[in-house]
Amino acid sequence: MLNSRIFKGHIYHSRFRPKKHRFRYRIFMMYLDLDELSTVFEPYLLWSVKRPAIAWFKRADHFGDKERPLAECVRDLIEERAGVRANGPIRLLTHLRYFGYCMNPVSLFFCWNKDETRLEHVVAEVSNTPWNERHCYVLSYPISDRGHSNELILPKEFHVSPFMPMNQEYKWKIEASEKNIDVKIDTYEDSIKKFSASLTLSAKPITKGNLMACLAGYPFITIKVILTIHWQALCLWMKGIQIYPHPAHKKHG
């Protein structure tokens, strides 16, 4: 039985300050066991890892040397940032490349312990537009005398939205199982919550019928993602929300 799955649900954004703005959309994402990449889509003509297809997992759409296995790049990054090497299964929640186009605001690598009873690390691979940059956050969940916490606070390190400054921090809360994934990211500035994003998903098995339902029910989903980003940016601009330039592109002098 495959560990890879389809996850369906909703994404929700809510901005609290300086003006309120919120939206909610239906979404599906693939949850791929990186050890199953070579075979997961073999029975399905329109889906592929090895060649261009209507739905294509392309190695180069993710970080690291495209000639190296993605799982090894994830393990290397965790070892570099956290000082330990992940040795359990790694599963990736992401959008594939659909109809030749890929857009992933965030992909999540769930790194489990060997017996799959505990989430040890999550690598959040974040990208921005229109700069087409990529940055990875490593979230590690050590066991302490107080037990295991699924909440972490990290400083913002990467410019994502021109409507948010860099002097912020993120509070991540992630709960994951083979049936459900719930991700919540609260954004704070000077200890005041300014923004919240959440992803609420439920699993379905990978079958021919379920894959066809994804293509039929969510056509051109990655194109919809980029159009939605620009539409919501226009809405914020029309509300007069301050624009913050990319830190690397600020004029000096």
- For 121-141, how does the pLDDT look when each residue is reduced to its tens digit (9 = 90+)? 999 999 999 999 999 999 998
DSSP state of 35: G
Six-digit token string for 160 = 């994502």
User: Parallel, antiparallel, or unpaired: how do β-strands 97-98 and 55-56 relate?
Assistant: antiparallel
Count Cβ atoms within 10 A of the Cβ of residue 137 and give its class: 0-12 exposed, 13-18 middle, 19 or more buried: buried
Its pTM stands at 0.95
Distance from C-alpha of 202 to C-alpha of 54, rounded to nearest angstrom: 24
Asked if the model's pLDDT at residue 253 lies above 50, the reply is no
> Average pLDDT of 163-191?
96
Helix or strand or coil: residue 233? helix
Average model confidence (pLDDT) across the chain: 94
- Domain residues for the domain of 40 are 5-249
The pLDDT of residue 150 is: 78
| Contact yes or no for 204/54 (Cβ under 8 A) | no
Q: In whole angstroms, what is the distance from residue 211 CA to residue 67 CA?
A: 28
Please give the tally of structural domains in the chain. Answer: 1
Mean local confidence (pLDDT), 61-84: 97
Q: Quick check: 1 pLDDT over 90?
A: no
- Among residues 109, 118, 59, 121, the alpha carbon closest in space to that of 85 is found at 121
Q: pLDDT tens-digit profile of 76-99?
A: 999 999 999 999 999 999 999 999
Instruction: Scan for tokens 């979230």, then name that residue.
Output: 139
Residue owning tokens 């699993």? 203
Q: What is the pLDDT of residue 149?
A: 62
Q: Are 71 and 59 in contact (CB under 8 A)?
A: no
